[in-house]
Amino acid sequence: MDKVVYVCTGTCHAEVSDKEYEEGLTKCGTKDCTHFGHSFEKVLKCHECGAYFKPGDNHSHLA
């Protein structure tokens, strides 16, 4: 089962869980990151390969 995570699309590539996001960790706090202070982006994380993809996008491992 893929899971919802939130990621920074800046240089730090931080990832926070759905729970952390709901508890208030909604913006990048890494001062050296190009997206410091920007909101995290909601994505799904593949349980098999760890790839991120947007909700509604099709992700598969078929060639």
Domains of the chain: which residue ranges? 3-53
Closest CA to 2 of 58, 62, 63, 20: 58
Q: What is the DSSP letter of 53?
A: E
Residues with Cβ within 8 Å of residue 2, at least 6 apart in sequence = 44, 45, 46, 47, 59
Q: What is the pTM of this model?
A: 0.88
pLDDT in tens, 12-30: 999 999 999 999 999 999 9
Mean pLDDT of the chain: 94
Gap between the Cα atoms of 21 and 57, Å rounded:
22
Please give the share of the chain, as a percent, with pLDDT higher than 90: 83
pLDDT tops 70 at residue 63: no
